[in-house]
Amino acid sequence: MAEDEQEYDFSSIEKKWQDYWEREKTFRAEDGSEKPKYYALDMFPYPSGAGLHIGHPEGYVASDILARYRKALGFNVLHPMGWDAFGLPAEQYAIKTGTHPSVTTEANVRNFRRQIKSIGFAIDWDREINTTEPGYYKWTQWIFLKLFQRGLAYVDEKPVWWCPNLRAVLANEEVVDGKSEVGGHPVERRNLRQVVLRITAYAEKLLAGLEDLDWPDSTKRQQKAWIGRSEGAEVRFEVDEIEEELVVYTTRPDTLFGATYMVVAPEHPLLEKLVSPEKAEEVKSYVEAAAKKSDLDRTDLAKDKSGVFTGSFCLNPVNGKKIPVWVADYVLISYGTGAIMAVPGHDERDFEFAEKFDVPITRVIARQDGDEEKAKLPYSGPGIMVNSDEYDGMDTDACKAKIIADLEAKGCGKGAVNYKLRDWIFSRQRYWGEPIPLVWVSLEDYGKAGRKDGPVTELMPEESVTTMRDGETLYALPLPACELPLRLPEVENYQPSGTGESPLATIPEWLEVWFDVESGRTEARSGPKPQGENWVPATRETNTMPQWAGSCWYHLRYLDPDNSDRLVDSEKEAYWQSPDFYIGGAEHAVLHLLYARFWHRFLHDEGVLANPEPYRKLFHQGLILGEDGNKMSKSVGNVVSPDVVIEAYGADSLRLFEMFLGPLEAVKPWSEKGIEGVHRFLRKVYRECFAKDKHRPAEETDKETLRLLHKSILKVTEAIDDLRFNVAISQMMILVNHLQKSAFYSIETAKSLLQLLAPFAPHLAEELWAELGENPSIADHPWPVARKELLVAEEMTIVFQVNGKLRGQSQFPKDADKADIIGAAKSDAKVQGFLEGKEIVKEIYVPGKLVNLAVKS
RNA sequence: GCUCAGGUGGCGGAAUUGGUAGACGCGCUAGAUUAAGGAUCUAGUGCCGCAAGGCGUGGGGGUUCGAGUCCCCCCUUGAGCACCA
């Protein structure tokens, strides 16, 4: 190597081009452009104190490659970034140190921004958003008020997951195996006042909407399972000797004749009436024990079934038979009607229970094929009805329909649909979140508000939202949009009260206000009551919103980040629509991704948005593991920081290697040696572009080089379209290896190579592009087009097989005919060795590919 | 337990519709260059075998002229769900 060879000084190259892009606003997304749009979205990060880890950039690099590629294809590209910055860590840090969460958040954002910028993304930084800024959360609150107006937000005191460690309530989705998803603390059931969003009203739409989404199957399946739609019937059972009915939900009305007992959940409202005096003591202690059990204990399948007979009987509506009613905690109050008809012959759980407590087990379904082994009880498959009076002989499906119709006719049942999905507990007893823009007033003052004709009245729901406080019923009134944002007040102490109230409840001057029921204005109650009959005393809602709120609609705000009149301008929404590509971790399959769909669909129904679905194409990048094959974690000490990698190898090497590791969706280990490999590749590209004595002006004249170039253009293009970036990179390596071995090649070939490389290693590509005499930015030059006509070779290689095994090969002109080729195969010396003494029974010729001679001896 | 997705060299991984398995990279071996190291380059590298050849895509069976790819059974890893009636 020449002494004076330039070194690949990635640090200064990367700095130079990052400055250039920022200065020139190379990646600004244009509103109202004539060009077609392309919107690439990353799940925006929570800016933690730990900084970026190596997993974050994986998705960002993928979306960045698509963004740069689409830009080169002539699209007007939007690739934005922002911060999901409300959340628990900053608040817990505040509790410990007294530092205001906004201070912590700002420092963390600054660090995240620096790190992300150091990787050289094609991000339009003018559109940066932050969920904790009042200008942003004004609209989060605005959407909440819309939900409130439409009766989709209500307040309820219900058993919720309370986490003593976090001193907060968690959503169903945030509890995994009886522990908090964040931190893994134990949780327990508590009855607390909660603001709840009626996501169940959207169950059907959320389910149906999945159909058209280009999402990973597993994620669609998870959402489907979470929504958990089932079809069946509600059946009313008369209770013997008392004037009550027990309503159950079942998906198997066909098995009604097999119901040999009933079960109600320990929390069932009718239970008290059902219990006979002699059973009272036993049932009471059972219910108390069940209440103490954590849900983990109750739902543990390994646990034995437990239960107590209540002393009551129900009458089976189809045959009037008396069947005993039990109470058992394997029936959940929160699903269906909280009561079931138990059919031990055809349900595993009921079977287990019936065996233990010696309840009769009746078969009502037989298999059509009479296979006794497969029809063993409990049998839950399809078949033919037996022991079911007039339904005997029907198949199960027909029987279901008939029984439902008959029950309906008799007025003791009806077809019904049920969902596992529960309403979304939306309130958090925390400081660092969006304040919920509601105030609480008396019944009288609520009535007063209802009679006005102002912005408050307009947002009032049809059915009032109420809560009990100190024996008084209070009514919720909305703050009108003109009073938003409702800012987070300053607070002395971030410590939650521990009683289920947020720190906001400890600030009387914020909490207690005079409220104008017409205009929605507020004044501190510590001051005198303002003039006018519209002013009433009110108390603010002290709960804040969960972290999911801000991320439900952030993809919209990027389209119009500074709009103070609307959450997004309609024209801008119409142009940009929803992201063409959305990438992020699979762990959000039912949280963020379900909530965001709910809000988006709601806003669509409200006429605010043109599109019903927020994310049409979704992709999950796979986890990057530590070099030891374990999940990266501080405690194991296998964490790789992007800062360190960039320092050692540069951002381009980092980008390239994250994509070269393997398929984007795969879980794959990091490798220090591996990044050296791609770094070597980039150095090789650098050397080739500086090897001026090998360059020739004008078009490529070497046929082989030209063919490989166009093959590479084709393959890289297709690989990017298919998100198979590892394959694209290996093709570029093949091309560069070839150039390196060539004595000469056209400078145009080198330029095309740089264009292919630019989305992956943009800094180096820009640098060398300029070095070869072109103007920046390479990102603005049209993507090369593969000339497919060059890909057809003049000669073809035909493989010779005997009995499917490779025995030889030869070159033929591309118009050679079948007979000649088979003849050549047969006379091939090596092939002949395998034909000797054998008879050819079949000759196969696959045009352009192979000859296979089938022989037998 | 149920559902889904995987299992290809020492390692990460390639392989249109069934048609040359192991591209590309890492690692390893030998060599060139070098005072030396690094860097770079050249050749080799699935396994067994001196070779001819045989064997090879988790295991077993099948379809086919031909199977990593299609079908059946089993083993195994990962993910999700987990008393939802």
The confidence score (pLDDT) of residue A273 equals: 92
The confidence score (pLDDT) of residue A814 equals: 78
**Integer Cα distance of A398 and A776 in angstroms:** 71
Residue nearest B66, CA–C1′ metric: A804
Other beta carbons within 10 angstroms of residue A385's beta carbon come to 24
The confidence score (pLDDT) of residue A299 equals: 63
Q: Which structure tokens are listed for A311?
A: 């002393």
pLDDT above 60 for A3: no
The mean pLDDT value for A792-805 works out to 83
Question: Which chain B nucleotides are covered by protein, judged by CB under 7 A?
Answer: 3-5, 12-15, 19-21, 23-27, 39-42, 53-54, 65-67, 78-85
Mean pLDDT of chain A: 90
Per cent of chain A over pLDDT 90 is 66
Residue with tokens 């992300």: A116
Element of type H or E holding A273: helix A271-274
Residue nearest B67, CA–C1′ metric: A804
DSSP SS3 for A543:
coil
Task: Write out pLDDT tens, residues A597-630.
Answer: 999 999 999 999 998 999 999 999 999 988 888 8
Measured CA A218 to C1' B2 distance, in angstroms? 15
User: Cβ neighbours of residue A581 under 8 Å, at least 6 residues apart?
Assistant: A39, A40, A41, A63, A66, A617, A619
Q: Which structure tokens are listed for A527?
A: 């001051």
Write out the DSSP string of A672-728. Answer: HHHHHHHHHHHHHHHHHHH-GGGEESSS---HHHHHHHHHHHHHHHHHHHTT-HHHH
Nucleotide minimizing C1' to CA distance for residue A718: B16
Nucleotide minimizing C1' to CA distance for residue A328: B83
Measured CA A735 to C1' B42 distance, in angstroms? 19
Measured CA A519 to C1' B46 distance, in angstroms? 79
User: Residue A12: phi, psi to the nearest 5?
Assistant: -75, -30
Task: Write out pLDDT tens, residues A491-543.
Answer: 877 877 667 778 888 888 899 999 999 999 999 998 888 988 899 999 999 99
| Cα–Cα nearest to A755, from A746, A770, A765, A744 | A765
pLDDT above 60 for A729: yes
The DSSP 8-state label assigned to residue A395 in this structure reads B
Nucleotide minimizing C1' to CA distance for residue A731: B24
Amino acid found at A264: V
Least confident of A308-312, A510-514, A706-710, A830-834: A830-834
Nucleotide minimizing C1' to CA distance for residue A846: B19
ipTM score of complex: 0.94
The answer to whether the predicted template modeling score (pTM) of the entire model surpasses 0.90 is yes
Alpha-carbon distance values, A440 to A71, A196, A363, A510, A678 (Å): 52, 16, 57, 13, 62
DSSP SS3 for A80:
coil
Residue A301's pLDDT band (boundaries 50, 70, 90)?
Answer: low
Measured CA A372 to C1' B81 distance, in angstroms? 30
Side-chain half-sphere exposure of A568, counting CA atoms within 13 A: 29
Residue nearest B23, CA–C1′ metric: A730
Measured CA A710 to C1' B64 distance, in angstroms? 36
Nucleotide minimizing C1' to CA distance for residue A724: B14
Buried b (16+ CB within 10 A) or exposed e, A319-346: eeeebbbbbbbbbebebbbbbbbbbbbb
Measured CA A626 to C1' B38 distance, in angstroms? 27
Residue A178's pLDDT band (boundaries 50, 70, 90)?
Answer: low
End-to-end CA distance of chain A: 60
The mean pLDDT value for A218-232 works out to 93
Torsion of CA A496, A502, A505, A507, to 10 degrees: 60
Task: Write out pLDDT tens, residues A804-831.
Answer: 888 888 888 878 888 888 888 888 888 8
Position with higher pLDDT, A857 vs A446: A446
Side-chain half-sphere exposure of A418, counting CA atoms within 13 A: 17
User: Cβ neighbours of residue A218 under 8 Å, at least 6 residues apart?
Assistant: A586, A589
Measured CA A836 to C1' B56 distance, in angstroms? 26
Measured CA A55 to C1' B9 distance, in angstroms? 28
Measured CA A674 to C1' B41 distance, in angstroms? 20
Residue A4's pLDDT band (boundaries 50, 70, 90)?
Answer: very low
Nucleotide minimizing C1' to CA distance for residue A228: B84
Measured CA A319 to C1' B25 distance, in angstroms? 73
Measured CA A316 to C1' B28 distance, in angstroms? 77
Nucleotide minimizing C1' to CA distance for residue A830: B52
Residue nearest B1, CA–C1′ metric: A301
Nucleotide minimizing C1' to CA distance for residue A842: B65
* CB distance A538 to A513 below 8 Å: yes
pLDDT above 90 for A361: yes
The confidence score (pLDDT) of residue A684 equals: 94
Least confident of A156-160, A401-405, A419-423, A653-657: A156-160
CA A776 to chain centre: 38
